[in-house]
């Protein structure tokens, strides 16, 4: 006969004979844990969405050839004046090309690096969109649409088309939705692009690009990388930007430094580009945990209260159990196990409640200009939160039960029996 | 063989003025003896019983059960001794009200854990039959009469086949019919099963029928 089973049988009988009190205590835990799950799922879903806006869209390292004046002017080579403060007026950058020199070997080198997940070349160019007599200023980026979708979720910003449309069509364009509205163009229409050099090329609209930022949507369009090269009258080795996605985002800073040193190019890492985004995430997480813990502490006090009252009611039972050979530890275990059972049952129902409400939330409509593909609230159904929830339920009820249970352990049966 | 022996037991109630509740108690109980402790209220007979029952450990002197020294053992060891060697019957019935009669009787044996659940249940029903209350076995403890409760309490005291049964005014709260009934049960247990009994009472009639009377007054044994 298992001794622990005897203890559990006693706890069970105590709990079932006061089913109402037990249920009230368990409900406290249920609502606490339920609210925790809902808050965490919803908040982390939103967090993930907002982080994704930056993390998914921004390359971990962005390499390009920046036009800027040389920081080492001729006077700096003159050793005798190195101790002086030299002022050179009106420094201008040297006439140079925007393209990345020796782009193909650099691409191959980066692709062979084991830390690198993907390397995506781009060609950027200034253009004018010509519609009738109006000319709109614009930027066209030539991309490998399929890879951009795989690694940078590019497909989430396409309205009315797919990345494949661009990948397969040398004469297709994903026009910025703002520019399209201004020129009142529909999918299937043709738009003429005038390059800086004066050439005019007609392209067919295969879809719209919508980032949610009006300024971007008014100018930015995407074409196939080969189309962009042709637009500029350049060969297939002409690249203006290289975007890198890493397996581990932590590698971005050292790698960006190494690249800019090695190839004499500008390499911007994601942390430098978006320094503030982590702060927002951690503050939101902090608030969520603080609210959840407050809820669970309230539930814990409820359990503490109920067990305390129960122990006063059960003084006689405790005395008789001790008189018939149950040790103080056994009695303590009886009450702690009651608390933990309340915590476990309440916690499991809390998880179920949390799951149901989260599911309902995930079906509520949520439409935002910034994310054309998102139609409902983002909810994160990560199993970790459910594990944390049930563990927290049991730990907090254990603590709430421990204090009254220790009191029960110390009750002197003689005092109770004499007191009658 | 002495099943219970007390040597020089002294007990003080500590307070602003110390009060000596028990003074130099020396006595022993042999196997199969039916002993009663008599005395007026406040003479210390209940205090003595709680020391003998190992529940009260705040005393001076030495206590032996089955010739084994009990004084100084840890509370867990004492709980085991109470469980295995001592059966209790109180003035108030002290059953667990939410449990069935059968469960109440079985609990100490489950705690002891020496037998399987089937054996314990069988034993419990045997004990209930012995006390002619087996027909109530499945009722809740709160649903039976006082006399019946006391018989259940005796059955519970017997479940682990203890060395000695201790009672603190077990008939004090019963009418004469039920009191006689309980006495007869005790006598039967004593003679047929060679059980030792130590009963605190101030019912003179009850005490007179026992094998041996220990009379107490002012914390001392006056006569035994």
Q: Are residues A259 and A303 in the same domain?
A: no
Q: Are residues A202 and A320 in the same domain?
A: no
Both tokens assigned to B23: 């003074």
- State residue A156's pLDDT score: 80
- State residue A275's pLDDT score: 66
Confidence of residue A276 (pLDDT cuts 50, 70, 90): low
Do residue B84 and residue A320 have CB atoms under 8 angstroms apart? no
DSSP string, A25-90: HHHHHHHHHHHHHHHHHHHHHHHHHHHHHHHTTS-SEEEE------SS-GGGG-GGGTTS-----S
Q: Are residues A260 and A281 in the same domain?
A: no
Least confident of A3-7, A119-123, A415-419: A415-419
Do residue B108 and residue A322 have CB atoms under 8 angstroms apart? no
Do residue A1 and residue B120 have CB atoms under 8 angstroms apart? yes
The rounded distance, in Å, linking the Cα atoms of B45 and B215 is 9
The rounded distance, in Å, linking the Cα atoms of A82 and A75 is 8
pLDDT at B111 over 90: no
> How many CB atoms neighbour CB B194 within 10 A?
10
Q: Are residues A202 and A264 in the same domain?
A: yes
Q: If you average pLDDT over each of A41-45, A129-133, A287-291, A351-355, which comes out highest?
A: A351-355
Please, what is the average pLDDT of chain A?
84
Closest chain B residue by Cα to residue A409: B75
- State residue A387's pLDDT score: 92
Note whether A183 and A191 are within 8 A (CB). Answer: yes
Structural domain count, chain A: 2
Q: What is the bridge-based pairing of β-strands B2-13 and B60-65?
A: antiparallel
Q: What is the mean pLDDT of residues A347-374?
A: 86
Torsion sign (Cα): A302, A303, A308, A314: positive
- State residue A279's pLDDT score: 74
- State residue B175's pLDDT score: 79
Is A88 inside any structural domain? Answer: no
Any A CB within 8 A of B156 CB: yes
Taken as a whole, chain A contains a residue count of 420
Helix (H) or strand (E) segment spanning residue A419: helix A413-419
Q: Are residues A258 and A281 in the same domain?
A: no
Structural domain count, chain B: 1
CA distance A30 to chain B (A): 27
Residue with tokens 């100084």: B72
pLDDT tens-place string over residues A362-395: 998 887 766 666 788 888 888 988 998 899 888 8
Q: Which long-range contacts (CB under 8 A, 24 or more apart) does A384-387 make?
A: A385/A36, A385/A37, A385/A40, A385/A41, A385/A44, A386/A37, A386/A351, A386/A354, A386/A355
Least confident of A130-134, A177-181, A352-356: A130-134
Of A243, A270, A297, the position where a domain reaches its end is: A270
Note whether A319 and A413 are within 8 A (CB). Answer: yes
Q: What is the mean pLDDT of residues A297-319?
A: 81
Q: Are residues A165 and A306 in the same domain?
A: no
Considering all CA atoms of chain A, what is the largest pairwise distance in Å, rounded to the nearest integer?
A: 108
Instruction: Identify which of B134, B91, B87, B90 has the alpha carbon closest to the alpha carbon of residue B112.
Output: B87
pLDDT tens-place string over residues B191-207: 888 888 888 888 888 88
User: In which domain, by residue range, is B204 found?
Assistant: 2-223
The rounded distance, in Å, linking the Cα atoms of A271 and A111 is 22
Confidence of residue A345 (pLDDT cuts 50, 70, 90): very high
Is A358 inside any structural domain? Answer: yes
Q: What is the mean pLDDT of residues A48-68?
A: 79
Which chain A positions have a beta carbon within 8 Å of B83's beta carbon?
324-326
Any A CB within 8 A of B173 CB: no
Q: Are residues A152 and A258 in the same domain?
A: yes
CA distance B86 to chain A (A): 8
Q: Are residues A199 and A325 in the same domain?
A: no
Percent residues over pLDDT 90 in chain A: 7
> What ipTM score was computed for the predicted complex, to two decimals?
0.85
Q: What is the bridge-based pairing of β-strands A220-224 and B60-65?
A: unpaired
Which chain B positions have a beta carbon within 8 Å of A414's beta carbon?
50, 55-56
Q: Where are the alpha helices (DSSP H) in A172-232?
A: 177-182, 214-219, 225-231
More confident call, B124 vs A98: B124
Least confident of A36-50, A292-306, A389-403, B137-151: A292-306
CA distance B183 to chain A (A): 22
The rounded distance, in Å, linking the Cα atoms of A307 and B219 is 40
Both tokens assigned to B211: 């094998």
Is A74 inside any structural domain? Answer: no
Confidence of residue B177 (pLDDT cuts 50, 70, 90): confident
> How many CB atoms neighbour CB A371 within 10 A?
18
Do residue B113 and residue A317 have CB atoms under 8 angstroms apart? no
The CA dihedral of A330, A331, A337, A339, to the nearest 10 degrees, is -160
Which chain B positions have a beta carbon within 8 Å of A320's beta carbon?
94-96
Is A155 inside any structural domain? Answer: yes
Both tokens assigned to A170: 């040398």
- State residue A158's pLDDT score: 86
Confidence of residue A350 (pLDDT cuts 50, 70, 90): very high
Instruction: Identify which of A136, A280, A147, A117 has the alpha carbon closest to the alpha carbon of residue A221.
Output: A136
Per-residue buried b or exposed e for A149-186, using 16+ beta carbons within 10 Å of the residue's own CB: bbbbebbbbbebbbbebbbebeebbbbbbbbbeebebe
Any A CB within 8 A of B59 CB: no
Torsion sign (Cα): B138, B144, B148, B151: positive
Note whether A200 and A193 are within 8 A (CB). Answer: yes
DSSP string, B117-162: HHHHHHHHHHHHHHTT-GGGTTSBGGGS-HHHHHHHHHHHHHTT--
Both tokens assigned to A9: 């049988």
Which chain B positions have a beta carbon within 8 Å of A328's beta carbon?
75, 79
Both tokens assigned to A238: 């002409």
Any A CB within 8 A of B79 CB: yes
Q: Which residues pair with A129 in a beta bridge?
A: A136, A193
Do residue A320 and residue B82 have CB atoms under 8 angstroms apart? no
CA angle A228, A229, A234 (to 5 degrees): 150
Please, what is the average pLDDT of chain B?
84
Across the interface, which of B79, B112, B115 has its CB nearest the CB of A327?
B79
Which chain B positions have a beta carbon within 8 Å of A2's beta carbon?
113
- State residue A370's pLDDT score: 65
- State residue A386's pLDDT score: 92
Any A CB within 8 A of B168 CB: yes
pLDDT at A356 over 90: yes
Do residue A325 and residue B96 have CB atoms under 8 angstroms apart? no
Of A237, A270, A303, the position where a domain reaches its end is: A270
CATH of the domain at B52: 3.40.50.300
Do residue A324 and residue B111 have CB atoms under 8 angstroms apart? yes
Taken as a whole, chain B contains a residue count of 224
| Whole-Å CA distances, A383 to A43, A112, A347, A349, A376 | 15, 36, 15, 16, 21
SS3 B93: coil
Q: What is the mean pLDDT of residues A296-323?
A: 81
Is A87 inside any structural domain? Answer: no
Name every residue in A having a CB less than 8 A away from some CB of B. 1-3, 6, 9-10, 13-14, 17, 316-317, 319-330, 412-414, 417-418, 420
- State residue A372's pLDDT score: 66
Which chain A positions have a beta carbon within 8 Å of B168's beta carbon?
417
pLDDT at A299 over 80: no
Confidence of residue B131 (pLDDT cuts 50, 70, 90): confident
DSSP B86: E
Of A217, A241, A270, the position where a domain reaches its end is: A270
Do residue B107 and residue A324 have CB atoms under 8 angstroms apart? yes
Q: Are residues A110 and A254 in the same domain?
A: yes
User: In which domain, by residue range, is A396 found?
Assistant: 3-55+277-419
Confidence of residue A359 (pLDDT cuts 50, 70, 90): very high
- State residue A357's pLDDT score: 94
pLDDT tens-place string over residues A154-203: 888 888 888 888 888 888 898 898 888 888 888 888 888 888 888 888 89
Phi, psi of A267 (to 5 degrees): -125, 115
Across the interface, which of A13, A326, A412 has its CB nearest the CB of B111?
A326
Closest chain B residue by Cα to residue A15: B98
């Amino acid at each position: 006969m298992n001794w622990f089973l005897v203890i559990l049988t006693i706890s069970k009988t105590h709990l079932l004979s006061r089913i109402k009190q037990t249920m009230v205590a368990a409900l406290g835990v249920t609502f606490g844990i339920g609210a925790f799950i809902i808050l965490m799922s919803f908040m982390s879903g939103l967090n993930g969405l907002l982080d994704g806006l930056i993390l998914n869209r921004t390359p971990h390292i962005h390499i390009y050839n920046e036009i800027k004046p040389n920081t080492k002017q001729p006077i700096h080579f003159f050793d005798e004046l190195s101790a002086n403060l030299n002022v050179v007026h009106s420094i201008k950058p040297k006439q140079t090309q925007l393209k990345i020199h020796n782009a193909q070997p650099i691409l191959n080198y980066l692709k062979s690096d084991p830390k690198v997940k993907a390397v995506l070349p781009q060609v950027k160019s200034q253009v004018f969109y010509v519609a009738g007599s109006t000319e709109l200023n614009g930027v066209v980026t030539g991309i490998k649409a399929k890879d951009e979708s795989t690694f940078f979720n590019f497909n989430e910003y396409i309205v009315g088309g797919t990345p494949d449309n661009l990948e397969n069509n040398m004469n297709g364009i994903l026009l910025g939705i703002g520019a399209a509205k201004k020129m009142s163009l529909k999918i299937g229409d043709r738009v003429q692009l005038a390059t800086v050099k004066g050439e005019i090329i007609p392209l067919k609209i295969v879809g719209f690009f919508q980032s949610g930022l009006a300024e971007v949507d008014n100018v930015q369009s995407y074409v196939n990388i080969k189309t962009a090269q042709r637009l500029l009258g350049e060969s297939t080795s002409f690249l203006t930007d290289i975007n890198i996605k890493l397996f581990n985002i932590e590698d971005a800073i050292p790698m960006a430094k190494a690249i800019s040193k090695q190839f004499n190019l500008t390499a911007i890492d994601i942390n430098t580009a978006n320094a503030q985004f982590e702060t927002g995430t951690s503050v939101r997480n902090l608030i969520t945990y603080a609210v959840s813990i407050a809820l669970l502490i309230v539930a814990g006090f409820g359990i503490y209260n109920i067990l305390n009252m129960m122990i006063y009611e059960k003084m006689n039972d405790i005395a008789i159990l001790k008189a018939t050979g149950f040790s103080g530890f056994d009695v303590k275990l009886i009450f702690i196990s009651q608390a933990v059972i309340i915590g476990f049952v309440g916690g499991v129902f809390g998880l179920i409640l949390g799951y149901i409400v989260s599911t309902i939330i995930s079906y509520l409509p949520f439409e935002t200009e910034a994310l054309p593909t998102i139609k409902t609230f983002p909810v994160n159904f990560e199993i970790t939160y459910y594990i944390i929830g049930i563990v927290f339920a049991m730990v907090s009820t254990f603590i709430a039960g421990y204090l009254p249970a220790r009191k029960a352990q110390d009750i002197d049966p003689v005092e109770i029996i004499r007191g009658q | 063989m002495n099943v219970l022996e007390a040597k020089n037991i002294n007990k003080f109630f500590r307070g602003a003025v110390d009060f000596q509740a028990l003074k130099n108690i020396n006595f022993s109980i042999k196997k199969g003896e039916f002993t009663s402790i008599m005395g007026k209220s406040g003479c210390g007979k209940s205090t003595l019983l709680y020391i003998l029952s190992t529940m009260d450990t705040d005393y001076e002197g030495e206590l032996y059960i089955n010739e084994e020294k009990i004084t100084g053992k840890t509370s867990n060891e004492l709980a085991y001794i109470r469980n295995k060697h001592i059966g209790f019957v109180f003035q108030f019935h002290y059953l667990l009200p939410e449990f069935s009669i059968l469960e109440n009787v079985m609990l100490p044996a489950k705690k002891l854990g020496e037998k399987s659940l089937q054996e314990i249940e069988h034993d419990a029903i045997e004990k209930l039959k012995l006390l002619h209350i087996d027909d109530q076995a499945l009722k809740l403890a709160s649903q039976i009469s006082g006399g019946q409760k006391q018989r259940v309490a005796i059955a519970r005291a017997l479940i682990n086949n203890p060395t000695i049964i201790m009672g603190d005014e077990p008939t004090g709260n019963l009418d004469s019919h039920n009191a006689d009934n309980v006495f007869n049960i005790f006598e039967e247990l004593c003679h047929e099963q060679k059980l030792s009994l130590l009963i605190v009472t101030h019912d003179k009639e009850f005490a007179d029928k026992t094998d041996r009377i220990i009379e107490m007054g002012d914390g001392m044994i006056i006569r035994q």
